[in-house]
Amino acid sequence: MTGSSTKGMTRRGVLGAFAATAIAAAPTYANAFGFMRGAGDIRRIRMYSGRLGEHLDTIYWIEGEYIPEALTEINKLMRDWRSGQTINIDTRAIDIMAASHNMLDADAPYMLLSGYRTPNTNAMLRSRSRSVARNSLHMQGQAADLRLEGRSVAQIARAAVSCSAGGVGKYSRSNFVHMDCGQVRVWGR
């Protein structure tokens, strides 16, 4: 089936209907990286941005294929909210976020605090805080700072660390976890 519409039904509509039934049967994975390598049939991400007032609940991968329309929606939500600029968010980062969320067995969506940052935004934040990296992966669309209602920073970080797929920073004072698809490393309290 292609992206074209047939008798009022789009590819996205069919995939959405399929995914709605598949989600109920999707197991929680003990090893998220195995899940990301194809052990699951679908990948779903649920996030909202309080700053933008936007919500996202989308299936972005089915049966070994990323869904371009869903990735476009993710890119839009994860834009630099200060400038409105977007970038293609690295699918590896999305996979880490989705797998971690799945392991946490949470119904609530992530609260996105920071996704993509322009170099200007990153420089401004860096001038205000020592914890902002000069070459932050946020500027490459490879990182996100997230909260999850009903889960502690330690719980979220443990799930992300278990992916063994990137960097995980715990910011307990600010109540968020940084996840990225860079080198595997862990920091923070």
- For every residue of 38-100, DSSP letters joined together read IISSEEEEEEEETTTTEEEEEEEEETTEE-HHHHHHHHHHTS-TTT-------HHHHHHHHHH
Q: Return the pLDDT at 34.
A: 52
Is 80 exceeded by the pLDDT of residue 155? yes
pLDDT of residue 116: 97
Whether residue 77 lies inside any domain: the answer is: yes
Q: Is residue 1 part of a domain?
A: no
Q: What percent of the chain has pLDDT over 90?
A: 72
Average pLDDT over residues 54-76: 97
pLDDT band for position 33 (cuts 50, 70, 90): very low
Least confidently predicted of 14-23, 38-47, 111-120: 14-23
| Position 30 in a domain | yes
Mean pLDDT value of segment 140-159: 97
Q: Which residue has the higher pLDDT, 1 or 143?
A: 143
Using 50, 70 and 90 to split pLDDT, how confident is the model at 7? very low
Instruction: Work out how many domains the chain is built from and give that number.
Output: 1
Is residue 5 domain-resident? no
Asked, for residue 144, whether it belongs to a domain, the answer is yes
Reply yes or no on whether the pLDDT at 172 is more than 60.
yes
Report the mean per-residue pLDDT for the chain.
Answer: 84
pLDDT beyond 60 at 36: no
Contact of 138 with 103, CB cutoff 8 Å: no
Task: Report the pLDDT value the prediction gives residue 9, as an integer from 0 to 100.
Answer: 42
Q: Can you give the CATH number for the domain in which 32 is found?
A: 3.30.1380.10
Residue 164 lies in a domain: yes
6 inside domain: no
Q: Residue 122's domain spans which residues?
A: 11-188
Q: Which of 147, 49, 35, 48 is nearest to 98 (CA)?
A: 35
Query: Does the residue 129 lie in any domain?
Result: yes
**Predicted local distance difference test score (pLDDT) of residue 186:** 97
